[in-house]
Amino acid sequence: MKYRSQKVAYWFFALSMLLLTLQLVYGFIMGFAHAGMDGLHDFIPFNTARAVHTNLLVVWLLSGFMGAAYYIIPEEAQNELVSVKLAYVQLISLALVGVAAIVGYHLNYWEGRKFLEIPRPLDYLVVVNVLLFLGLILVTLFKGKRKTTTALVLTMGLLFAALLYLPGMIHFDSQVLDSFFRWWVVHLWVEGVWELIMGGILSFLLIKLTGVDREVIEKWLYVIVGLTFLSGILGTGHHYYYIGVNKIWLIVGGIFSALEPLAFLAMALFAVNMYRKGEKKHPNKIALYWTIGSAIVSFVGAGLLGFAHTLPQTNIFTHGTTVTAMHGHLAFWGAYAMIVFAIISYSLPNMTGRKFYDSSRGRMAYWLANIGMIGMTVSFGVAGVAQVYLERIMKVDFMKVQLEIQIHYFVLIIMATLFSTGITLFIIEFIKHGQPTDEALEAN
Amino acid sequence: MLSKKQARAFFLGGTLVTFLIFIGLTVYSLSAAQDQSHKENITESVARGKDLWESNNCMGCHTIMGEGAYYAPELTKVIDRRGEGYIKAVLMSPISWQPNKRKMVAYNMSEEEALDMVEYFKWINNIDLNGFEKVVSPLAKDKNNN
């Protein structure tokens, strides 16, 4: 750790871990409900559990991205964060808005729009919170001694993510227009600007962990984020095939979303090549595992599994089935959760001074979480394919199909247990590092 | 060999061009001539129905036009499949509806609210979904043919 103010990142990561734990709890509630055990229905009905599960995902990832920015930007800009106090205000307000939203979901107070369930009055608080965050990051960056490509790409991703939140706040009487602009937020976040954030964090980690020249890494970063936008922006069309808008999206969405895996493939090749080119001297092996793992798993989850159902000819059958959950879980895990784990694994020893670089607990956490998530993806996939065949081809009634595929949710629960064990070990490792200290500053 | 400057130009140029095409396509596909949703049929009752759909997070269990949570039945063609009376009975039920033991929240809606929901489903029922409407609810299609 080179700057005292970088310590604020620790608390954003701690909030991330807390919210992730809660997300897993609600995931289990949903898994058990699908398996026929919905004893909590009167207190936490499925729609509550789902809104909490997906919104916690978004908030813990955002908290992780913000932590990453608070750690990376001062080091890249060679400047202390302009106000640590305001960063803590932003952290607390983020946590309060998150808690208010989650409590609201249990009291039937929400917007009922997939992934954007936060009610509009709270949306305004989110906007204020994000503006404060962006203000702190931008002022730090522009007051800094240098403006690196890594810092600019990361900041650009965060800025665009904030701007793209706005179309989701517009009210429409038409369900078609509502869906259309909801995807401006959701798709252009996860298959657009969040990849800029991921690319920025990945680039920072590769520079630090491999020792490869910054110029080489940042040149390829531009190519990758270029490919991301080139395919991802018009790839939004794959959400417009069957929601009541013009057929032109079948062609445009089909072609450009089929190109989307290229960006992820480039990212995976980039990470592996930089590792091979590098000196392999950095002792933090766990951080390297998560970094390279993120690039590879995101290619499989977001790239390949996304491609598996993105063409209109396939999507007409898979749209609105558990096949989407298959792709969604591995994509979010690989691209975003693992990159947050990577920056945590890299920065934690630097902030706390405790160098748990290659512990067996850390390795177990990595492998159990990944094997568990792959098992979950397979469970969703088998359930999804069976659902498509029975419901869409054989014309069996929805609920009868649900009973037929129930067994796969038991497998899902077992795999989720394995995954959660890995996450628990990661969190234990997080806690064992202790809190950040100024002594770590001197040690670096 | 590609320079960093060229790589940056590829990123900025590619992004700008695709973004402008995206905006152009959005304007085109949302123009009145391309409307497939019969937006002239969105009455106040349909709009109130949509607000009820959102304020109760129906999408948290069901799907509509293929979007939602895959826990409860797809409702794009629910009017064809179940009819008005059945839908109203489910929505106005003071106790939890439990088809095949999977529970639905008891919404205990008023007659007026249930009617607004029915109007909303009727509007959805007539949207041209580029062929998806025939796949998503084969049972409704068969019922119409019989």
The string of pLDDT tens digits covering residues A329-357 is: 999 999 999 999 999 999 999 999 999 89
A105, closest residue in chain B (CA to CA): B57
The dihedral built from the CA positions of residue A172, B25, B16 and A206, taken in this order, carries a sign that is positive
* Helices A120-143 and A46-77: angle between axes, nearest 10 degrees: 10
Q: Which residues touch B144 (CB under 8 Å, ≥6 apart)? A: B80
The pLDDT assigned to B137 comes to 73
- CB contact, 8 Å: B106 with chain A? no
Nearest Cα neighbor of B132 from A247, A307, A398, A173 is A247
| Chain B nearest CA to A35, separation (Å) | 10
Confidence bin at A279 (pLDDT 50/70/90): confident
The length of chain A in residues reads 444
Q: Indicate the burial class of B101 (C-beta count within 10 angstroms; 0-12, 13-18, 19 or more).
A: exposed
Ordered DSSP codes for A295-356? HHHHIIIIIIHHHHTTSHHHHHHHTTSHHHHHHHHHHIIIIIIHHHHHHHHHHHHHHH----
Question: What is the 8-class DSSP label of residue B113?
Answer: H
Q: Does B15 contact A230 at a Cβ distance shorter than 8 Å?
A: yes
pLDDT above 60 (res A182): yes
B144 lies within 8 A of chain A by CB? no
Looking at residue B136, its pLDDT comes to: 86
Q: Does residue A114 belong to the interface with chain B, where contact is any CB pair within 8 Å?
A: yes
Sequence-ordered alpha helix ranges (H) in A165-284: 175-188, 194-210, 214-235, 248-277
* Encoded tokens for A261: 């895996």
Output the six-digit token pair for A224: 């990758």
pLDDT at A225 over 50: yes
Give the residue ranges of chain B where pLDDT is below 70.
138-146
Q: Does residue A328 carry a pLDDT above 50?
A: yes
Q: What is the pLDDT of residue B100?
A: 84
* A187 confidence band (pLDDT: 50, 70, 90): very high
Contacts B18 to A, Cβ<8 Å: 229-230, 233-234, 256
Which residues in A lie closer than 8 A to residue B39 (C-beta atoms)?
174, 176
Domain layout of chain A by residue ranges: 4-437
> Among A82-96, A111-125, A379-393, whose mean pLDDT is lowest?
A111-125
Concatenating the DSSP letter of every residue in A128-184 gives HHHHHHHHHHHHHHHHSS---HHHHHHHHHHHHHHHHTGGGG---S-HHHHHHHHHH
Q: What's the pLDDT score for residue B145?
A: 45
Share of chain A above pLDDT 70, in %: 99
The 10s digit of each residue's pLDDT in A388-436 is 999 999 999 999 999 999 999 999 999 999 999 999 999 999 999 999 9
- Complex ipTM value: 0.95
The pLDDT assigned to A442 comes to 62
Which of A256, A321, A395 lies nearest to residue B139, judging by beta carbons? A395
Q: Which residues share a beta bridge with B68? A: B63
Mean pLDDT computed over A185-193? 94
CB contact under 8 A, B42 and A173: yes
A270 chain-B contacts, CB cut-off 8 A:
none
Q: Is the Cβ of A50 closer than 8 Å to some Cβ of chain B?
A: yes
- Beta carbons of B18 and A249 less than 8 Å apart: no
Topology (CATH level 3) of domain A4-437: Cytochrome C Oxidase; Chain A (1.20.210)
Buried b (16+ CB within 10 A) or exposed e, A316-343: bbbbbbbbbbbbbbbbbbbbbbbbbbbb
> Looking at domain B40-145, what is its CATH homologous superfamily?
Cytochrome c-like domain (1.10.760.10)
B75 dihedral zone (left: phi>0; alpha: psi -120 to 50; beta) = alpha
Buried-exposed string A135-155: b where 16+ CB fall within 10 A, e elsewhere: ebbeebbeebeeebbbbbbbb
**Number of residues in chain B:** 146
H/E run at residue A37:
none
Q: Tell me if B18 and A38 make a contact (CB, 8 A cut-off).
A: no
- The answer to whether the CB atoms of A47 and B124 lie below 8 A apart is no
Distance between B67 CA and the closest CA of chain A, angstroms = 6
Compute φ and ψ for B62, nearest 5 degrees: -85, 175
Beta bridge partners of B64: B67
Instruction: Kindly state the average pLDDT of the residues A27-52.
Output: 97
The whole model's pTM is what?
0.96
Query: CA angle at residue A390 from A386 to A391, to 5 degrees?
Result: 110
Q: In the 3-class helix/strand/coil scheme, how is A46-59 assigned residue by residue?
A: HHHHHHHHHHHHHH
Alpha-carbon gap, residue A12 to A60, rounded angstroms: 9
Give me B39's structure tokens: 């937006």
Residue A199: CB atoms within 10 Å: 26
Residues 28-47 of B with CB under 8 A from A: 28-30, 34, 36-37, 39, 42, 46-47
Q: What is the pLDDT of residue B144?
A: 46
**Would you say A6 and A70 are in contact if contact means Cβ atoms under 8 Å apart?**
yes
Residues 6+ apart with CB under 8 A from A155: A69, A73, A137, A138, A141, A200
- For chain B, which residues make up each domain, given as ranges? 1-34, 40-145
Residues with Cβ within 8 Å of B39's Cβ and at least 6 positions away in sequence, in order, are: A174, A176
Please give the pLDDT value at position A441: 86
| pLDDT above 90: residue A283 | yes
